Amino acid sequence: MSISKTAYYYVSKKINKDSEITDYLRTLAIDHPRWGFEKMMQKIKLDHKPWNHKRVYRLYCELKLNIRVKPRKRLPKGEAKMLLQPIKANVCWSMDFMSDALTCGRRFRTFNVIDDYNREALLIAASFSLPSCRVIQLLDQLAVEKGYPEMIRVDNGTEFTSHIFRQWADKHQVLINYIQPGKPAQNGFIERFNRTYREDILDMNLFSHLREVRLLTQDWIVSYNKNRPHEALAGLTPAQFSNYRQHMRVVGKKEPAAMTCNCGISS
């Protein structure tokens, strides 16, 4: 035919014997999108298909049916830091979230903030949604009255590790002290506060509306700060403890040993 050998080449007429397997795998992938290779192979064996698992796996990969597995975010372990009580207010705030449900079954969350100095309940905000932007808004509103703290102690929740929250902390020169993952005892002040709040309010009442949670919580905060004695404060309430420390500094007297021992502070 006067054709150059370089222009003519042999085309294989081999029949694709894998078409049956690929069609079967595509059908399974459409019917069961979350099935991986192991589950599909089990189904193949149940249907008594004479296909080798190596051959099936090769075609499974060629069809790109692999289920994407979201990699687990590895949090830095950080360093264990001793839980100390500050010697004045607004040095360190502790924050955490709690959750409960209304009588209709709808879940809600509370954002709790206390001052480590005298365990004063600064804020308990109840809402169905508390993203980082809402947390920042609540803290800015609280800062209008109290001012911004030097440091905050939080866990590794997404609300506190987000870029928005970090940028807010840098803007207001607030140091973020992250506890080690899985070590809630390192945030012991707020954990103890959460227990008291749950026992007094969340576990003692049935709420049909979020407004009921907020009203009872506001009354409870006033009672907690002014009427509830605190063992770590030598039997004083948070309000009395602040007044006592201020009075001792004014008169220049040394605090009783019981006060400094129970509180874990030095005068």
Which amino acid makes up residue 255? E
Instruction: Extract the tokens encoding 195.
Output: 């227990």
Q: What is the pLDDT of residue 109?
A: 96
What band does 33 get if pLDDT is binned at 50, 70 and 90?
confident
Under CATH, what is the fold of the domain 92-228?
Nucleotidyltransferase; domain 5 (3.30.420)
Residue 257 has pLDDT above 60, yes or no: no
Q: Please report, rounded to a whole number, the percentage of residues in the chain having pLDDT higher than 90.
A: 64
Q: What is the pLDDT of residue 17?
A: 80
Which amino acid makes up residue 102? L
Strand partners, 93: 115, 152
Q: What is the pLDDT of residue 85?
A: 86
| Residue corresponding to tokens 């001052």 | 115
Q: What is the mean pLDDT of residues 4-29?
A: 80
Q: What is the pLDDT of residue 76?
A: 62
Instruction: Extract the tokens encoding 155.
Output: 């866990």
Q: What is the pLDDT of residue 259?
A: 39
Strand partners, 98: 110
Strand partners, 113: 95, 123
Our CA dihedral for 180, 182, 186, 188, rounded to 10 degrees, sits at 150
Strand partners, 120: 115
Spatial separation of the C-alpha atoms in residues 264 and 150, rounded to whole Å = 20
| Contact status, residue 99 vs residue 73, Cβ threshold 8 Å | no
Q: What is the mean pLDDT of residues 209-221?
A: 95
Per DSSP, helices labelled H in 32-162 are 37-46, 53-62, 132-146, 158-161
Spatial separation of the C-alpha atoms in residues 70 and 74, rounded to whole Å = 12
**How many other CB atoms are found less than 10 A from the CB of residue 5?**
6
Residue 153 has pLDDT above 50, yes or no: yes
Which amino acid makes up residue 157? G
What band does 252 get if pLDDT is binned at 50, 70 and 90?
low
Q: What is the pLDDT of residue 261?
A: 35
What 3-state DSSP class applies to 220? Answer: helix
Q: What is the model's pTM?
A: 0.67
Spatial separation of the C-alpha atoms in residues 76 and 261, rounded to whole Å = 33
| Contact status, residue 155 vs residue 97, Cβ threshold 8 Å | no
Q: Domain coordinates of the chain in residue numbers? A: 19-62, 92-228
| C-alpha distance from residue 134 to each of 9, 122, 128, 129, 198 (Å) | 69, 16, 11, 8, 22
DSSP codes of every residue in 25-91: HHHHHHH-TT--HHHHHHHHHHTT----HHHHHHHHHHTT-PPPPPPPPPPP----------SSTTS
